[in-house]
């Protein structure tokens, strides 16, 4: 049982929680995630650890309410308990001290990229940041990322804040104006990660992506989160969640992410009806 200590809305349907989880807070390294369950009937879902305070024994989760589980979670209040939280899971980000990276966050992906940026900065590296979203309301964690990434560019599809355009436009601009990086770290919707990889592949610029496969146990025993990377089978929960983006079969992952689309819609519909009563 893990108490919710604080709750903050970062954007429509996007909530940041700080929760009590001392062993996880102490052990956690950038790039890792937890698997949580909010009720006895609930499903197990993975969420990136966006931040942690080892001294206070707390971790931060940024949740986008998409389906029933995340929407129900986002309605929980400080003082309430999350039933199950297991972690930290996954391979930590491979950080080379002093490395220079370009961190690109698309939508909720910024919450995944932020801890990586913070980790690289803490290891003496340099971070250039790009945050992208459809519109200004959906830009999150720009203050936090700017504190560790300089410069930190913002792009919106509609130009309501920052540069009008896609994150790939901003990346190309940086590369054209002479920025050089050891690697690019890109996290966001699959089409966005794929698009970034398409830009960097011909340049031979290493690009790390963080994948959000559907998971059940999160410890490598079920194979539900399997992906193809360079034709080999990998499990996102124990081999990832970060992989070489140039080698990932994004199309296959996209199809697997749609496996329960009808069931998810049904669950959400029933939840919405009950919640509105």
Partner 1 sequence: MAKKIGQKTKTPMPTEDAAVRRHTFGEVALGYSAELAIQEAARCIECKNMPCIAGCPVEIDIPGFVRQVAAGDFDGAYHTLSLKNVLPAVCGRVCPQEDQCEQKCTLGVRFEPVAIGRLERFVADYAAAKSITNGAGVHPPTGRKVAIVGSGPAGLTAAADLAKLGHSVTMFEALHKPGGVLMYGIPEFRLPKSIVEREIDSLKRLGVDIRTNHVIGRTFTIDDLFNELGFEALFIGTGAGLPHFPKIPGINLVGIYSANEYLTRSNLMKAYRFPEHDTPIVRGKSVAVIGGGNTAMDSIRTALRLGAEHAYLVYRRSRDEMPARAEEVEHAQEEGVDIVLLAAPVALLGDDRSRVRTLRCVRMQLGEPDQSGRRSPVPIDGSEFDLDVDTVVFAVGQGANPLIRSTTPDLPTNKWGYIVADPDTGVTQKPGVFAGGDIVTGGATVISAMGAGRRAARAIDSYLTLIAKEQS
Minimum Å gap between C-beta 31 and partner 1 is 13
- Shortest Cβ 83–partner 1 spacing (Å): 7
Please say which residue, 11 or 52, places its beta carbon nearer to partner 1.
52
User: Within 241-270, which residues bind partner 1 (CB under 8 A)?
Assistant: 252, 255-256, 258-260, 263-264, 266-267, 270
Q: What's the min distance (Å) between Cβ of 25 and partner 1?
A: 11
Does residue 191 interact with partner 1 by CB under 8 A? no
Strands 163-164 and 183-187: unpaired
Site map 113..132 versus partner 1, x via CB under 8 A? --------------------
Q: Which stretch binds partner 1 (CB under 8 A): 106-114, 169-177, 193-201, 223-231?
A: 223-231
Measured CA distances, 169 to 104, 166, 173, 191 (Å): 12, 5, 6, 14
Q: Scanning residues 52 to 91, which ones bind partner 1 (CB under 8 A)?
A: 68-69, 83-89
Question: With 0-12 CB in 10 A as exposed, 13-18 as middle and 19+ as buried, what is 158?
Answer: exposed
Contact present, 246 and 201 (Cβ < 8 Å)? yes
Q: Which is nearer to partner 1, 20 or 183 (CB)?
A: 20
Among 9, 12, 23, 134, binds partner 1 (CB under 8 A): 23
Map tokens 């305070």 to a residue. 53
Nearest to 137 by CA among 152, 158, 117: 158
Contact 63, 47 (CB under 8 A): yes
Query: Does the N-terminal peptide bond of residue 261 adopt cis geometry, omega within 30 degrees of 0?
Result: no
Q: Are 207 and 218 in contact (CB under 8 A)?
A: no
**Interface with partner 1: number of residues (CB under 8 A):** 41
As a whole number of Å, the CA-based R_g of the chain is: 18
Could you tell me the smallest distance in angstroms from the CB atom of residue 9 to partner 1?
24
Kindly tell me which of 67 and 162 has the beta carbon lying closer to partner 1.
Answer: 67
Tokens of 163: 């540069």
Cα 139 to Cα 125: distance, rounded to the nearest angstrom? 25
Q: Which is nearer to partner 1, 6 or 219 (CB)?
A: 219
Interface residue list for partner 1 (CB under 8 A):
23-24, 27, 37, 41-44, 68-69, 83-89, 216-217, 219-224, 226-228, 233, 238, 252, 255-256, 258-260, 263-264, 266-267, 270
């Amino acid at each position: 049982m893990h108490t919710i200590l604080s709750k903050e809305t970062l954007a429509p349907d996007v909530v940041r929680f700080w929760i009590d989880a001392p062993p996880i807070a102490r052990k956690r390294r950038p790039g890792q995630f937890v698997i949580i369950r909010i009720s006895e009937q609930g499903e197990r879902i993975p969420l990136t650890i966006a931040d942690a305070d080892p001294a206070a024994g707390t971790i931060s989760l940024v949740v986008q309410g998409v389906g029933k589980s995340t929407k129900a979670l986002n309605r929980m209040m400080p003082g309430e308990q999350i039933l199950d939280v297991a972690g930290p899971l996954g391979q930590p980000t491979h950080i080379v001290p002093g490395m220079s990276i370009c961190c690109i966050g698309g939508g909720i992906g910024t919450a995944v990229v932020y801890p990586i940026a913070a980790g690289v900065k803490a290891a003496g590296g340099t971070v250039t940041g790009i945050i992208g979203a459809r519109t200004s309301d959906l830009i999150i964690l720009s203050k936090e990322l700017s504190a560790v990434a300089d410069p930190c560019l913002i792009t919106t599809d509609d130009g309501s804040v920052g540069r009008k355009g896609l994150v790939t436009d901003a990346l190309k601009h940086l590369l054209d104006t002479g920025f050089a990086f050891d690697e690019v770290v890109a996290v966001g919707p699959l089409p966005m990660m794929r698009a970034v990889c398409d830009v960097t592949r011909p340049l031979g610029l290493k690009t790390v992506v963080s994948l959000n496969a559907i998971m059940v146990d999160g410890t490598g025993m079920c194979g539900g989160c399997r992906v193809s990377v360079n034709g080999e089978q990998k499990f996102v929960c124990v081999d990832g969640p970060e992989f070489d983006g140039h080698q990932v079969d994004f199309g296959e992952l996209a199809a697997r992410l749609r496996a329960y689309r009808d069931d998810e819609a049904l669950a959400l519909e029933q939840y919405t009806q009950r919640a509105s009563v």
